[in-house]
Amino acid sequence: MDFWKTVLGLVRRKFIGPPVIATGLLVGALVFFLLPTHYQSSAFMVLTTPAAGGTQDPSKNTGLTNPLLQFNDGLRTTAAILIQSMNTPEAFASLGVVEHGPTKVLINDGSTNPDLLGTNGPFVYVEGDSTSYEEARGVVVRGQKKIRDELVTRQKELGAPESTFISVVDVVSASEPEALLMDKFQAAAVAFVLTVLLGFAGAYGWERTVVARSRRKKWPAEDADHGAATPPARPRTQFDPPTVKITPVASNGNGAPAKTKPKN
């Protein structure tokens, strides 16, 4: 209880409470403005089959077929293959994304986007994050182009007829980058709270030190005896032995008492 009384007292003091809170606001504002602003852009794509299907000439039993469409769920399987191939250090490097750099890219089936929850199709979702407004959208555009080139290259390597090639269609093109300010607000709030807590903790420690010093000055004997004050003298009773008062005798320097002159 004394702790909270002391804290409330510190908050009410005009030379402690307002300066600590003002310092917290200043630190929070500095954190908000000094942290770099991140921008985010995204694109959403879907894989589609050609109008003629996955076989070059369906009327012939020996017609050439696209191997990627021979799976039970060929488009989703192909989308998964593309996503896995794009989530490699080599693929990121080709997009200009380096580890611990200012630009990040996320490529998946849209499971990380709340707006796409519940979808179950051959989708590819590309999201770019950067401290640069232009680079946030630029990495998404480069990622889309890389996915299309990767898909064409794999189909050519498998010997699929060009007329059966799977294509990638934009559902949502690369969006205009949006500033992400929530992270900056959260960092500023944390800085404000920590500054205020540290400020009042320091003021509380200083207050307790001042109180301890004033107590030592007020009761030095008690502090010297570690809190055990000297008890008061007990009043004398009739059963106590008589007190003998000894008067010192002057000496002549040789150990014998000095002779005193008689008074006239």
Tens of pLDDT, residues 50-99: 866 656 655 555 556 777 776 657 788 889 999 999 999 999 999 999 98
CB 139 within 8 A of CB 105: yes
What number of other Cβ atoms are within 10 A of residue 45's Cβ?
Answer: 24
CA–CA gap between residue 57 and residue 55 (Å, rounded): 6
- What was the pLDDT predicted at 231? 57
Domain ranges within the chain, ordered by starting residue: 2-32+183-217, 38-180
The answer, as to whether pTM is greater than 0.85, is no
At 112 the pLDDT is 82
* pLDDT confidence tier of residue 141, bands split at 50, 70 and 90: very high
The string of pLDDT tens digits covering residues 10-58 is 777 777 888 889 999 999 999 999 999 999 999 999 998 886 665 665 5
The CATH number of 38-180 is: 3.30.70
The pLDDT of residue 170 is 92
- The DSSP letter of residue 171 is E
Helix %, strand %, coil % of the chain (to 5): 45, 15, 40
Q: What are phi and psi of 156, to 5 degrees?
A: -65, -40
The answer to whether residue 177 scores a pLDDT higher than 90 is: yes
For residue 37, give Cα distances in angstroms to 14, 26, 260.
36, 19, 104
Beta strands in 69-133 (DSSP E): 103-108, 123-130
Percent of the chain predicted with pLDDT > 90? 41
Model pLDDT, residue 261: 58
Distances in Å between the Cα of 82 and the Cα atoms of 11, 139, 162 are 60, 17, 18
